[in-house]
Structure 1
Amino acid sequence: MKKRQLVTIKGTKNGLSLHLNDYCSYDELLREIQVKLNESSTLHNEKKDIKVTVELGNRYVTEAQKEEIKLLIQEKQNLFVQDINSNLVTKKEAENWLKKNEVKSITSIVRSGQILEVPGDLLLIGDVNPGGKVIAGGNIYIMGQLKGIAHAGYNGDEKAIVAASIMKPTQIRISQYIDRDLVDRPTKAVREMECAYVNDQAIKIDRLQVLPHLRPNLVNMGGGI
C-alpha cells in the first residue's frame, strides 16, 4: 500500500511552500515535517536564507502549536518561516472581521468636543459640527453637513472614502493622508453630495458620482448612498 504523503514541499519564486495534510494527527505531522526537511536535497545545497510559507489547509492549530511548527522548521539554519496560513478562522477572528466590515448606522449630531468612533464603516444621519470628530476603520458616509473632522481608514486603508451631503470640513484624514485646507474652499466650490478619496498620494474631493469609477469594489448600498 502506498504511504500517504503528509507533507508536500514545493519551491516557489519566494522560497518554499510546505503543504500539510489536515487529516493525520498533529504528532504524525511533526514527525513527517522533520523527516521531509532532513531528506530535502534543495535545503542541503542552499547556503542563503530561504523563506518558508506553511499551508495548514483545514487544520486548526493553537498559537502554541504554530510556534512549535515554526521552531521545528527553523532548526534548519537557513530556513525562515514567513507565514502560516489556514483556511479556518477562530470565533474571535470572525467576530473582529464582522466588526471591521459592519456598517454602523447612527442618527446623531456630533457637537464640538465630541468624538464618534467605529471599527468598520460609519453611516451618520446628522451633522458633524465644527470641533466634532468622526473616526472609522472603513468608509464614512454622512447624511448631513461635515463641518468638523473626519478620519476614515484609520487602520491604514488608503481605499477608504469620506462622503457627505455638504462637505465643509476643518480637516479630512484618510489613512495617513491629511488635508487641512478644505475649510477655506470657496463657497461656490461646495456642492451637494461630495466624496473625498486618496489619489496620487493626496486627498481629492469630487462629486459622489465618480465613486463607481474610482472604487468599483466599494460595497453597494441598496438604492444608492
Structure 2
Amino acid sequence: MSKKIQQNVMIKGTKDGLTLHLDDSCSFSELLKELEMKLSEKYQFQENDPLIAVKVHTGNRYLTKEQCERVKELIRTKKKLVVDEITSNVVTIEEATKWKEENAITTVAKIVRSGQILQVPGDLLLIGDVNPGGTIAAGGNIYVMGVLKGIAHAGCFGNREAIIAASVMKPSQLRISDAVNRAPDEYIEDGHGMECAFINDNNQIIVDKLQVLKNHRPNLNRLEGGL
C-alpha cells in the first residue's frame, strides 16, 4: 500500500480568482518549495491573459512581514497572478489588545466641563454630567449616568450599531458613526427617565425611551439580563 504524500499547498479556483490554502505544520522553506513547484506546473500564462487575483490563507501559521513578502514575491513571479490578501487564523498581540480595548467598558466618574474632551476606545460609562461645550466620544456605546448637555459621539470609529443613553438627555449635538442629530430648539420635561439615541432603519438618529432599545438592539446585553 503506497503512502499518501502530504500536500502542503492546496489551490482552488473560484469565480473571483484563486485561493491558496497553505499547510501550517510544515516548515516555511518546504512551503515555498512546494508553492513554487505547483504554480510552475499548473499555471503558464500568455501575454494577453487577464490578471488573476490570488487570496492566500495560512491557517494557524503566523507569517512575519518578511515571510509575507517572500510569498507575495514568489506568486508575482508567475505573470498574471496578483496577490489580493494574505489571511490567517492567528491574532497578533496588537490585534488582540485593540479588540479588547474596543470591547471594554471604561468607567469614569467626573463632570466633563466646557472645552474638555473625553474619549475612550470602547464603551463609555460616565458617572457625572456633560456640561454645554463638553464632548464625550467612544468607539462603542455611551452611557451617561447624569445630565448630557454637551456633545456625545458614539461609534466614532464607524460602529453604526452604537447607542447613546443618558439619565437626562439634553445634548447640544448627538453623533453616531457619521450620522449627526442637531439638538431641538427646546426640551420638554416629561419625567419619563432615561432616554437613548440610535440610528434607525432610515439612517437617522432618533431619541426614544430606553425601553424601546431591546426591539432595535436585541444584542445589546453585555450586562447580565440585558435591557
TM-score (norm 1): 0.90
> For 1:76 and 1:207, how far apart are their aligned partners in 2?
60
> For 1:223 and 1:109, how far apart are their aligned partners in 2?
29
Counterpart for residue 195 of structure 2: 194
User: Matched residue of 2:194: which SS?
Assistant: strand
Amino acid at match of 2:177: S
Indicate which of 20, 33, 36 corresponds to 1:34.
Answer: 36
Counterpart for residue 10 of structure 2: 8
> For 1:158 and 1:185, how far apart are their aligned partners in 2?
27
Amino acid at match of 2:153: H
Q: Percent identity?
A: 53
Counterpart for residue 70 of structure 1: 72
- Tell me if the contact between 2:170 and 2:187 (Cα under 8 Å) persists in the aligned partners: no
> For 2:139 and 2:155, how far apart are their aligned partners in 1?
5
Matches within 5 A, 1:175-190: 175-180=177-182, 182-188=183-189
Q: Deviations over 1:10-43 (max 9, x none)?
A: 12233221110001000111111111222225x7
- Gapped regions of structure 1 (runs ≥ 5): none
Indicate which of 209, 213, 217 corresponds to 2:219.
Answer: 217
> For 2:190 and 2:14, how far apart are their aligned partners in 1?
53
> For 1:106 and 1:3, how far apart are their aligned partners in 2?
59
- Aligned pair 1:124/2:126, yes or no? yes
1:9 Cα deviation after fit: 0.8
> For 1:115 and 1:97, how far apart are their aligned partners in 2?
23
> For 1:38 and 1:210, how far apart are their aligned partners in 2?
60
User: Matched residue of 1:184: which SS?
Assistant: coil
> For 2:221 and 2:34, how far apart are their aligned partners in 1?
44
Distance of aligned partners of 1:76 and 1:23 in 2 relative to their CA distance in 1, 3 Å threshold: same
- Aligned pair 1:54/2:49, yes or no? no
> For 2:6 and 2:100, how far apart are their aligned partners in 1?
38
Q: Deviations over 1:89-136 (max 9, x none)?
A: 122221111111111011111111111110111011111111110011
Amino acid at match of 1:81: V
- Tell me if the contact between 2:220 and 2:226 (Cα under 8 Å) persists in the aligned partners: no
User: Matched residue of 2:171: which SS?
Assistant: coil
Amino acid at match of 1:73: I
Matches within 5 A, 1:137-148: 137-148=139-150
- Tell me if the contact between 1:168 and 1:190 (Cα under 8 Å) persists in the aligned partners: no
Counterpart for residue 104 of structure 1: 106
Amino acid at match of 2:193: E
User: Matched residue of 2:124: which SS?
Assistant: strand
- Tell me if the contact between 1:166 and 1:191 (Cα under 8 Å) persists in the aligned partners: no
1:218 Cα deviation after fit: 2.4
* Larger Cα-atom Rg: 2
Amino acid at match of 1:163: A
Higher helix fraction: Structure 1 or Structure 2?
1
1:172 Cα deviation after fit: 1.0
Indicate which of 23, 26, 30 corresponds to 1:24.
Answer: 26
Amino acid at match of 2:203: Q
Counterpart for residue 153 of structure 1: 155
Q: Deviations over 1:39-78 (max 9, x none)?
A: 225x748922222221111111112211221222222332
- Tell me if the contact between 2:23 and 2:59 (Cα under 8 Å) persists in the aligned partners: yes
> For 2:190 and 2:40, how far apart are their aligned partners in 1?
69
Amino acid at match of 1:141: Y
